[in-house]
Structure 1
Amino acid sequence: MYYLFNSNKMFFLFILFFSTMISISSNSWFGCWIGLEINLLSFIPLISKSNNLLTSEASLKYFLTQSIASMNFLFSILLKMILMKNFEMNNFISIMINSSLLMKMGSTPFHFWFPNISEGLSWFNNFILMTWQKITPLILMSYYLNFNFLYFIIIMNVMVGAIGGLNQTSLRKLMAFSSINNLGWMIFTLLISENLWMFYFLTYSILISIMFFLFYNLNMFFINQLFINNMNFMIKMNLLINFMSLSGLPPFLGFLPKWIVINFLMMNKFYLLTFIMIMSSLITTYFYIRIIYSSFMFNYFKMKWFKIYFKNKLMNFINFFSLISITGMIMSTFLFM
């Protein structure tokens, strides 16, 4: 709600959305680069707060990494213009462009800035970082895909995202590694079709928006904060449903886009890739269950008088989306009949 009553933040938020439109509707690489630069310069004022050292550090780190990626991207497109006729260099230039875009969205092996920066941001800024900020690089990458390079990146993403989240106690870092894992799936949906990517991205955005809204309202940033909370049963159920949906368990909506990807992988005989992606999803399910287990099982007896409820009309929307999440697979079976 802070953004709605702050004209500066609203202005930069508008510029952030507008810059994405510039990039994805541009008909030249330079136009795309300009859109990315405007995007970077509008996101930094959103995340920096003068009174908080952690957010100031996060905004500086974000600026440095994004600037390096932008320089790399600009260098690559200039190289492409100069060596237009040289087909041997084409493969190298496509890897360069893909790498700079992967660095922009915090993909492996350029992911080291991503969890650190997410740790210094609020839940709303984390939501922008993990959803909206990925749109431009993914769409630009779809113009110039290097399939062999991206298969390797997908495997690294799903493995690093799954293993990196295992020893985390911070919910923000945990969601950052979850985002890296989902980015692997997202890149693969982009290789299959853009419509499937849009469906996966929309599903993922809805699920993490609900998660982040719950965490923001409960003022939670670490797993151990869930131990001492006597939350309302419906809040616990929403957490459970949305975490399970995010991990891609079959009765939930989050499994549907993953099911389509697995179906495509099996039809095209990518057996090893299928195995790696499913195993990584199981690991992410494990660390989601660890969070849910703590909130369900641990209730301190001295807190019994203290119950957490939401006095917020948005809770009805969360209940509605959780219902969609449960019935998602029932609806999807009709699609495949």
Structure 2
Amino acid sequence: MMLHPTRLLFYLTLMLGTLISISSSSWLGAWTGLEINLLSFIPLMSNKNNQFSTESALKYFLTQALASAILIFGAISLGIYTQLPFSHFMWNPSLNLLISSTLLLKMGAAPFHFWFPGVMEGLSWINGLILMTWQKIAPLMLISYVFTPSFVAFSFIILCALAGSLGGFNQTSLRKIMAYSSINHLGWMLAASLLGESYWITYFLFYSLLSISVVLLFNLFNISHINQIFSLPLSNPVFKLAAFCNLLSLGGLPPFLGFLPKWIIIQGMVNAGFYFVITIMVTLTLITLYFYIRMGYSAFMIAHHEPKWLIVSNISFSSQMLVVSSLTISLFGLLLCGLIISVV
């Protein structure tokens, strides 16, 4: 189906805003790109067929507007501070904390994650996917400039891992579970940004690939809650296997593909000497694996009752290829990456 020209325009300006932010050489240019990105995403969130989308768009706008106002205040304060005598080679810790907190608020990281699950709940799966992946690129790139190993940085990382794991523990909505999962993964990305740019970009690419696989499967069957996973068609159990393997891969369980980026970050953190932080992060990841396994519990069941009208028989060939390709990536991705690395 062709995109409406207006929506296509907003998608283009959405990408343009992110590119302006990550390629800008000043905080003012980065702020401009974030504003273009924000004003492009608000119309895309609105859906006349979904009464909750307007509420989500309003929540998102208010939160992002607050973050943008604080960011431009921090950028102006930084500009004034660097003009003072004897401060050209100094970095103000207060301004560092202010700008870091603003960028964490923009991407929905703990402890500023209060808006993220509520906004995700009212969005469609495709808009939710954009919010979980593309909308985090610019804030992550900007925060990598100011994020340095310190007590504050480690506190933010641990809070992200803690909020993401405990927040999704008792949820039944798949959108909220994916939102808290995203918060947990943000903790790993922030830890990766302390190690270097290539670390967090690698982790982000793998996370985006696995999130796309999971969200497209949920969108294909129009699933929104855990109990609806039981209604996936038993006539083709490959669909359930694909959903379950993608969830475990997203949780970082070996031997699935999602274990590779976590393995890279663990090795980097250990080499850098951050033993305490990585130990807590790995421990909290086990909690996220619990609710991923709970979501995939139906895949373990040999048989259960299923009403006839829930059987989906008219699955298109493209949808079948999507399921098979996502299953192949999750199962054999780690093996293929290992072979490529050994050859190189």
Matched, 1:24 2:26: no
Correspondence 1:302-321 to 2 at 5 A: 303=307, 307-309=311-313, 310-321=315-326
1:267 to 247, 271, 293: 271
Change (3 A) 1:258 1:302: closer
Calculate percent identity across the aligned residue pairs: 46
Q: Which runs of 5+ in 1 are unaligned?
A: none
Letter in 2 for 1:13: Y
Q: CA deviation at 1:51?
A: 4.6
Does the 8 Å CA contact 1:23/1:136 hold for their aligned counterparts?
yes
Give the aligned CA root-mean-square deviation in angstroms.
Answer: 1.9
Asked whether the equivalents of residues 48 and 55 of structure 1 are also in contact (C-alpha less than 8 Å), the reply is yes
In 2, the alpha carbon distance for the partners of 1:305 and 1:109 equals: 44
Residue equivalent to 1:277: 281
Q: Structure 1 length normalisation: TM-score?
A: 0.94
Verify the 8 A CA contact 1:107 1:157 in the aligned structure 2: yes
Cα deviation code 1:226-260 (max 9, x no counterpart): 23333421111111111111000110111011001
Report the equivalent of 1:182. 185
Q: How far did residue 25 of structure 1 move? A: 1.2
Letter in 1 for 2:282: I
5+ long unaligned stretches in structure 2? none
Once residues 186 and 246 of structure 1 are traced to their aligned partners in structure 2, the CA distance between those partners, rounded to angstroms, is: 14
Paired letter, 1:269:
G
CA deviations over 1:11-57 (Å, ceiling 9, x no partner): 11111011111111111111110100111100000001245321111
Query: Which AA in structure 2 matches 1:213?
Result: L
Match of 2:329 in 1: 324
Displacement of 1:300 in angstroms is 4.7
Where does structure 1 differ by over 4 angstroms across 4 or more consecutive aligned residues?
A: 86-89
- The answer (yes or no) to whether the contact 2:189–2:203 under 8 Å persists in 1 is yes
> Which region of structure 1 is more displaced relative to structure 2, 308-317 or 38-47?
308-317
1:226-237 alignment, distance < 5 Å: 226-231=229-234, 232-237=236-241
- The 5 Å alignment of 1:217-232 reads 217-231=220-234, 232=236
Q: 2:105 matched to which residue of 1?
A: 103
Distance in 2 of aligned mates of 1:114 and 1:313? 32
Name whichever of 312-321 and 59-68 sits farther off. Answer: 312-321
TM-score in terms of structure 2 length: 0.92
CA–CA distance in structure 2, aligned partners of residues 257 and 301 of structure 1: 38
Show the counterpart of 2:10: 12
Return the offset for 1:145.
1.9
Query: 1:147 and 1:99 mapped to 2: Cα distance?
Result: 15
**Distance change >3 Å, CA 139–CA 118, structure 1 → 2:** same
Deviation digits for residues 193-218 of structure 1 (CA, Å, limit 9, x no counterpart): 21121211111111111111111111
